[in-house]
Amino acid sequence: MFADKRSKRVVLVAHCILNHNARIDECAYYPGAMTDIVQVLMEAGVGIVQMPCPELQCLGLDRSGRIREDKDIGIREALLGEANECCRTLARLVVRDVNEYRKQGFQVLGVIGNDGSPACGVDRTWYLETESQPGTGAFMLMLREELQRQGIDLPFVATADHEWEARLPRIKTLVSS
């Protein structure tokens, strides 16, 4: 099946890697995509599966004002709290896609998050109004949990807006496997 030119290798990426327009106000560092990261993935010949943005899907595009003013909580905390079921549903949908790719003989290489994100940080996340600190974003926690629940072990690596060059070796290693 699928006897054409496709590589049958895919990587899951945080939504904002391909679309910085989904970012919270004053946090978009690129006009569109993180082109250097995308270029590495394209050169490796892997399919790029854009995961949904849990912040956008669960809290809306103008989420900073609503969360900070109305709830006095941070976005990560909202995704773990009031938007928990929305975020869990998105994680289940991503894992459904992973299962479908694997069922058809595709290799799912792993997940690329974006450190500092309250949703998609892998090693660093954003808590309330403080700076990025060690921890995992809400969506990545739920995605990892759902993958484990279904017996799927995928590596998680992260880029970061201001440290993408230092993160490239990890991403290159992920997609060269």
What range does the domain containing 140 cover? 9-176
Measured between alpha carbons, how far is 24 from 62 in angstroms, rounded to an integer? 7
For residue 83, tell me if it sits in a domain.
Answer: yes
Residue 1 included in any domain:
no
Is residue 156 assigned to a domain?
Answer: yes
**For the chain, what is the mean pLDDT?**
86
Does residue 153 form part of some domain? yes
- Choose among 129, 146, 148: nearest CA to 138: 146
Which CA distances in Å does 47 have to 40, 43, 69, 147? Answer: 12, 11, 40, 20
Tens of pLDDT along the chain (177 residues)?
777 888 999 999 999 999 988 877 667 677 778 888 999 999 999 999 999 999 889 888 877 654 444 445 577 777 888 778 999 999 999 999 999 999 999 999 999 999 988 889 999 887 766 667 888 989 999 999 999 999 999 999 999 877 878 888 999 999 997
Q: Looking at the domain assignment, is residue 85 inside a domain? A: yes
Q: Is residue 130 part of a domain?
A: yes
Pairing verdict, β 9-13 and 156-160: unpaired
Long-range CB contact pairs, 118-122, < 8 A, 24+: 118/55, 118/74, 118/75, 118/76, 118/79, 119/53, 119/54, 119/55, 119/75, 119/76, 119/79, 119/87, 120/14, 120/15, 120/16, 120/51, 120/54, 121/158, 122/156, 122/157, 122/158
Whether 37 maps to a domain, the answer reads yes
Assess contact for 74 and 127: CB atoms under 8 A: yes
- What pLDDT shows up at residue 103? 96
Residue 79 resides in a domain: yes
| Tally of domains within the chain | 1
Tell me: the pLDDT tens digits for 67-105? 444 445 577 777 888 778 999 999 999 999 999 999 999
**Neighbouring C-beta atoms of residue 123, cutoff 10 Å:** 18
Note the pTM of the prediction, 2 decimals: 0.89
